[in-house]
Amino acid sequence: MVAFTDGACIKNPGGPAGWSAILLAADDITGYIAHENATPIESYGHIPQSATTTNNRAEIAAVLAALCIAPPDFPLKIYSDSEYTIKVAQGTYQMKANPDLWSLYRMLLNRRKVPPVFEWVRGHAGHDLNERADELAGLGAWNGDMNAYHKWQASNTPEAHNVVPAADLYALRQQVQKLKALFDSLDPNNSRVSPQERQFIEDMAKRLQKNNFSPTPKQSNWVKGLVAKYKV
């Protein structure tokens, strides 16, 4: 089976938030597009407003939902646009945040014959199933209120359009510059830094030079994770 998961937070942090999971047979998709006769299982849910509600918690909740829905005897591939969620789930990052949700993740993992395989998919890039998961997560954040969800999408709210406030964008640029300087100072063959991390920071450094670039929450969270990992 395959699952496309996503999370959305109306105000990050603080919420409310929503999660979504779309599951279907592996033979029913080509790339990120479901076949015409496919019968996906679509689910989404609401996470109430709270000081601890974040976009990351919504992303993790979506993965937990996929693990609950998918039969434990079936191999499962999870597509997510959250690098943070994938890296922690795979053990690449050891993060102290959200221990309650990661404890549930490990419990669900133990029920499965084989652990799920994760694949990162770029968000907001026109991939049908990822876009549908994004829509359902947003709807979940508004507790199923379609009118409120569409008004939010049409608004200028930063969370609705992945617009990062100027102060946060400045801080992000500084963090990326420090990471790039560190990576550039290390030998390219140094195994301390993965090729994916090097490429990501290289790309982010170029993109952040453009005035119209607004990083997604997933990109921002990956940068924060690297800052913590490399202590820059």
Q: Is 111 exposed, middle or buried (0-12, 13-18, 19+ CB in 10 A)?
A: exposed
Asked if residue 225 and residue 118 are part of one domain, the reply reads no
Asked if residue 193 and residue 78 are part of one domain, the reply reads no
What confidence tier does 142 reach under pLDDT thresholds 50, 70, 90? Answer: very high
- Spatial neighbors of 228 by CB under 8 A, at least 6 apart, are 95
Identify the H or E element spanning 89: helix 83-90
Residue 32 CA to residue 131 CA, distance in Å, equals: 10
Give me the pLDDT at residue 201, please: 92
What confidence tier does 161 reach under pLDDT thresholds 50, 70, 90? Answer: low
Asked if residue 182 and residue 70 are part of one domain, the reply reads no
Average pLDDT of the segment spanning 150-168: 67
Asked if residue 137 and residue 32 are part of one domain, the reply reads yes
Residue 45 near residue 140 (C-beta atoms within 8 A): yes
Q: Mind listing the pLDDT tens digit for each residue in 16-69?
A: 999 999 999 999 998 888 998 999 999 999 999 999 999 999 999 999 999 999
Q: Which domain holds residue 73?
A: 2-161
Q: Mind listing the pLDDT tens digit for each residue in 75-104?
A: 999 999 998 999 999 998 887 889 999 999
Q: Mind listing the pLDDT tens digit for each residue in 198-209?
A: 888 988 888 887
Helices (H), 111-193: 128-141, 146-154, 158-161, 166-185
Last residue of a domain, one of 102, 133, 161: 161
Asked if residue 136 and residue 112 are part of one domain, the reply reads yes
Residue 188 CA to residue 61 CA, distance in Å, equals: 36
Last residue of a domain, one of 100, 127, 161: 161
Asked if residue 76 and residue 156 are part of one domain, the reply reads yes
Compute CA 174 distance to the chain's CA centroid, rounded to the nearest angstrom: 23
Residue 232 CA to residue 220 CA, distance in Å, equals: 15
What confidence tier does 145 reach under pLDDT thresholds 50, 70, 90? Answer: very high
Asked if residue 176 and residue 135 are part of one domain, the reply reads no
126 has a pLDDT exceeding 80 = no
156 has a pLDDT exceeding 60 = no
Q: Are strands 29-30 and 77-80 parallel, antiparallel or unpaired?
A: unpaired
Residue 119 CA to residue 108 CA, distance in Å, equals: 19
Asked if residue 82 and residue 23 are part of one domain, the reply reads yes
Residue 73 near residue 113 (C-beta atoms within 8 A): yes
Asked if residue 83 and residue 65 are part of one domain, the reply reads yes
Q: Which of 132, 146, 142, 36 is nearest to 81 (CA)?
A: 132
Asked if residue 47 and residue 146 are part of one domain, the reply reads yes
Asked if residue 118 and residue 98 are part of one domain, the reply reads yes
Residue found by looking up tokens 């929450």 in the block = 217
Q: Is the peptide bond before 48 cis (omega within 30 degrees of 0)?
A: no
